[in-house]
Amino acid sequence: MEFNNFRYVWLDGEKIPWEEAKVHVMTHAIHYGTSVIEGIRAYASHNNLYIFRLEDHVKRLLDSARVYSLNIKYSKEEIIKAIIDIIKYNQIKSSCYIRPIGFAGFNGIDLYINDNSLVHLAILLFRFEGYLNINGIKAAVSSWRRISDPSLPPLAKAGGNYLNSVLATQECKKNNYDEAIMLDSQGNVSEAPGENVFIIRNGRIFTPGLSSGILEGITRDTAINIAKDLGYEVIERSIPRTELYLAEEIFLTGTAAEITPVISIDNHKVGDGKVGRITSIIKDTYSKAVRGDIEKYRGWLTPVY
């Protein structure tokens, strides 16, 4: 994936050139994964730039930090303002990806991170197009199980959690699949390495609940709301692996992936092996919603200019 960043970074209240945004090799987050992150998209539309569900993303960032006692010294309102300010400072008018990251700084090798530990906050911006194939991907069930709450809280979007996702991604890519599907500790469907999972059977939509080790995805919540508004029944419950092979449609949701159809699982066709009708409708509605084309969902958008 090509990486194309914008020139300036927001770091601890300062706007600095990208190449000057550096940390020491003794940074705690480098050694132990003590960071929390968000992925946010801004869409160019109607002669403006709209950030999608900005407040919800920043709230989750701070909630994740609280789980790990990472004392980010900025309020939700201050972070929202900082995101808008750094976009304007970079004079961005095109769609972009926003990556806030809070991370433990130089704290020695002590594992005890607390409210007095040094914590930094950075906001990075870069250009971002498609992440997964919008015409459908081929997925495989990973041999790596998804982390579970008694060991490592999946509800916190922490940097260290993604080592679990790295292993699953490496496995699926080496086996020539586009994405992995991870099972939870009970052997039920959890999520993909960076996306939530939805299946459709008999016209009803099912997705794993929070007890299945998932991240409480904001795009997941968006898709649930859209599907319900369109008149579909959405049920959160445990999904055994076999239902992946019986599903008429499957799609993934995530900030990067948006709404991505899955057309095969473990080389089993999903439905007729093409993007399904319900998935297409939800995908199209989502695409319009994030760009301000549907009045009902404009409350999810924060205009930059």
Strand partners, 8: 17
Q: Treating both helix axes as pointing N-terminal to C-terminal, what angle do 218-229 and 277-289 enclose, rounded to 10 degrees? A: 110
Q: Which of 158, 149, 204 is nearest to 66 (CA)?
A: 158
**Separation of alpha carbons 10 and 238, rounded Å:** 41
* The two three-digit tokens of residue 209, written as one number: 């609940």
Q: How many residues does the chain have?
A: 305
DSSP 257: T
Q: What is the DSSP string of 123-141?
A: EEEEE---SS-TT-EEEEE
Residue 157 known to be catalytic: yes
* The two three-digit tokens of residue 270, written as one number: 């999903």
First-residue to last-residue Cα distance in the chain:
29
Question: Active site residue: 138, 157, 269, 296, which one?
Answer: 157
Three-state DSSP state, 205: strand
Burial of 217 (0-12, 13-18, 19+ CB in 10 A): buried
- Known catalytic residues? 157
